[in-house]
Amino acid sequence: MGRIFHITTSAAWDEARAAGAYEPPSLEREGFIHFSASDQVVGVANRAFRGQRDLVLLCVASERLAGVVRHEHAEDAGEAFPHLYGALNLDAVVEVVPIAEGPDGFDLPDAARALRP
Protein backbone atom coordinates (compact mmCIF):
# COMPACT_ATOMS: atom_id res chain seq x y z
CA MET A 1 0.00 0.00 0.00
CA GLY A 2 2.95 2.38 0.46
CA ARG A 3 3.01 5.62 2.40
CA ILE A 4 0.10 7.34 4.08
CA PHE A 5 0.22 10.70 5.85
CA HIS A 6 -1.23 12.36 8.94
CA ILE A 7 -1.04 15.99 10.05
CA THR A 8 -0.73 16.78 13.74
CA THR A 9 0.97 19.26 16.04
CA SER A 10 4.54 18.98 17.23
CA ALA A 11 3.24 18.85 20.80
CA ALA A 12 0.90 15.93 20.05
CA TRP A 13 3.75 14.07 18.35
CA ASP A 14 6.02 14.69 21.36
CA GLU A 15 3.29 13.31 23.65
CA ALA A 16 2.92 10.24 21.44
CA ARG A 17 6.64 9.53 21.56
CA ALA A 18 6.59 9.81 25.34
CA ALA A 19 3.53 7.53 25.57
CA GLY A 20 4.82 4.96 23.06
CA ALA A 21 1.86 5.29 20.64
CA TYR A 22 -0.10 8.01 18.87
CA GLU A 23 -3.77 8.12 19.88
CA PRO A 24 -5.41 11.40 18.77
CA PRO A 25 -8.90 12.39 19.96
CA SER A 26 -10.45 11.08 16.71
CA LEU A 27 -9.51 7.53 17.72
CA GLU A 28 -11.77 7.67 20.78
CA ARG A 29 -14.42 9.87 19.18
CA GLU A 30 -14.70 8.16 15.76
CA GLY A 31 -12.89 4.87 16.26
CA PHE A 32 -10.11 5.59 13.78
CA ILE A 33 -7.25 7.95 12.90
CA HIS A 34 -7.60 10.06 9.75
CA PHE A 35 -4.86 9.64 7.13
CA SER A 36 -4.34 10.90 3.60
CA ALA A 37 -2.67 9.66 0.46
CA SER A 38 0.15 11.92 -0.75
CA ASP A 39 -2.11 13.62 -3.29
CA GLN A 40 -4.68 14.40 -0.57
CA VAL A 41 -2.39 16.04 2.01
CA VAL A 42 -2.53 19.58 0.62
CA GLY A 43 -6.33 19.56 0.32
CA VAL A 44 -6.75 18.25 3.86
CA ALA A 45 -4.27 20.79 5.23
CA ASN A 46 -6.02 23.66 3.47
CA ARG A 47 -9.48 22.51 4.64
CA ALA A 48 -8.71 21.56 8.22
CA PHE A 49 -5.53 23.32 9.38
CA ARG A 50 -5.70 26.91 8.10
CA GLY A 51 -4.11 29.33 10.54
CA GLN A 52 -2.56 26.61 12.71
CA ARG A 53 1.14 26.66 13.46
CA ASP A 54 3.71 24.14 14.63
CA LEU A 55 2.33 21.33 12.48
CA VAL A 56 4.14 18.19 11.42
CA LEU A 57 3.37 15.63 8.75
CA LEU A 58 3.75 12.03 9.87
CA CYS A 59 4.91 9.89 6.95
CA VAL A 60 3.86 6.31 7.66
CA ALA A 61 4.80 3.00 6.06
CA SER A 62 1.38 1.36 5.91
CA GLU A 63 2.86 -2.15 5.78
CA ARG A 64 4.31 -1.59 9.28
CA LEU A 65 1.00 -0.64 10.90
CA ALA A 66 -0.30 -2.87 13.68
CA GLY A 67 -3.91 -1.74 13.13
CA VAL A 68 -6.22 -2.19 10.17
CA VAL A 69 -6.38 0.45 7.41
CA ARG A 70 -9.63 0.90 5.52
CA HIS A 71 -10.17 3.30 2.63
CA GLU A 72 -13.52 4.92 3.30
CA HIS A 73 -15.53 7.58 1.51
CA ALA A 74 -15.70 10.98 3.20
CA GLU A 75 -18.92 12.73 2.17
CA ASP A 76 -17.62 16.24 2.85
CA ALA A 77 -14.54 15.75 0.66
CA GLY A 78 -16.16 13.52 -1.96
CA GLU A 79 -13.37 10.96 -2.00
CA ALA A 80 -12.01 7.95 -0.08
CA PHE A 81 -9.36 8.37 2.61
CA PRO A 82 -7.27 5.83 4.54
CA HIS A 83 -8.45 5.38 8.13
CA LEU A 84 -6.40 3.51 10.72
CA TYR A 85 -8.49 1.51 13.17
CA GLY A 86 -6.27 1.43 16.23
CA ALA A 87 -3.40 3.41 17.69
CA LEU A 88 -0.52 4.41 15.45
CA ASN A 89 2.50 2.33 16.41
CA LEU A 90 5.53 4.61 16.34
CA ASP A 91 7.76 2.21 14.42
CA ALA A 92 5.50 2.68 11.38
CA VAL A 93 6.44 6.37 11.19
CA VAL A 94 9.36 6.66 8.76
CA GLU A 95 9.65 10.45 8.66
CA VAL A 96 8.29 13.46 10.53
CA VAL A 97 8.51 16.72 8.60
CA PRO A 98 7.30 20.23 9.39
CA ILE A 99 4.37 21.42 7.30
CA ALA A 100 3.63 25.14 7.26
CA GLU A 101 1.06 27.32 5.62
CA GLY A 102 2.44 29.71 3.05
CA PRO A 103 0.82 32.80 1.54
CA ASP A 104 -1.11 30.60 -0.92
CA GLY A 105 -1.92 27.81 1.56
CA PHE A 106 -0.14 24.57 2.29
CA ASP A 107 2.17 22.61 0.01
CA LEU A 108 3.53 19.08 0.33
CA PRO A 109 6.98 19.34 1.96
CA ASP A 110 9.88 18.22 -0.22
CA ALA A 111 10.88 15.53 2.32
CA ALA A 112 7.39 13.99 2.06
CA ARG A 113 7.35 14.36 -1.72
CA ALA A 114 10.46 12.14 -1.87
CA LEU A 115 8.63 9.40 0.07
CA ARG A 116 5.65 9.10 -2.27
CA PRO A 117 5.13 5.65 -3.77
Ordered DSSP codes for 6-40: EEEEHHHHHHHHHHTEE--HHHHHHSSEE-B-GGG
pLDDT at position 116, please?
A: 58
For residue 93, give the H/E element and its range. Answer: strand 93-99
pLDDT at position 93, please?
A: 97
pLDDT at position 72, please?
A: 95
pLDDT at position 1, please?
A: 58
pLDDT at position 113, please?
A: 75
Return d(Cα 65, Cα 89) in angstroms, integer: 6
pLDDT tens-place values along the chain, 117 residues long: 589 999 999 999 999 999 999 999 999 999 999 999 999 999 999 999 999 999 999 999 999 999 999 999 988 778 999 999 999 999 999 999 999 999 999 998 887 777 655
Q: Report the relative pairing of strands 33-34 and 21-22 from DSSP bridges.
A: unpaired
Burial bucket for residue 45 (CB in 10 Å: 0-12, 13-18, 19+): buried
Helix, strand, or coil (residue 98): strand
Domains and CATH numbers, the chain: 3-101 (3.20.170.20)
